[in-house]
Amino acid sequence: MIGYVTIGTNDFERALEFYDALLATIGIKRLWSRGSMAAWGPSRQEVALCLVKPHDGNPASVGNGVMVALKVGDRQQVDAVYAKAIALGGRDEGKPGPRGTTGFYGGYFRDLDGNKLNAYVPG
């Protein structure tokens, strides 16, 4: 149902470096980059994460309650993505660990622009 999710940035080049390094942790490469927009994903036929410097010229801002969840293969990848985000200058929003009673395991962080993300494996 969802084709892609877009998050904003105020420093496009810095954000490109952050997401290139972060998503490489789980084997995801940049699909394309044109002007002030870029996308990452397994292929153009699957869900993508897009980054954009807002077209209206206003500063990008974080949506309260908005979060992008990155589904990964196992708990080790959750730990690796979370650790990489923090090493790249991201901010902790909840260390990796189990949540609830279903076996869900996730690690929460904010990117360099304050966008909230998590890496998780479902229960």
Assess contact for 88 and 18: CB atoms under 8 A. yes
Domain boundaries, the chain: 4-54+66-121
pLDDT in tens, 27-65: 999 999 999 999 999 999 999 999 999 989 999 998 888
CATH numeric code, 4-54+66-121: 3.10.180.10
Assess contact for 32 and 49: CB atoms under 8 A. no
What is the pTM assigned to this prediction? 0.90
pLDDT in tens, 19-29: 999 999 999 99
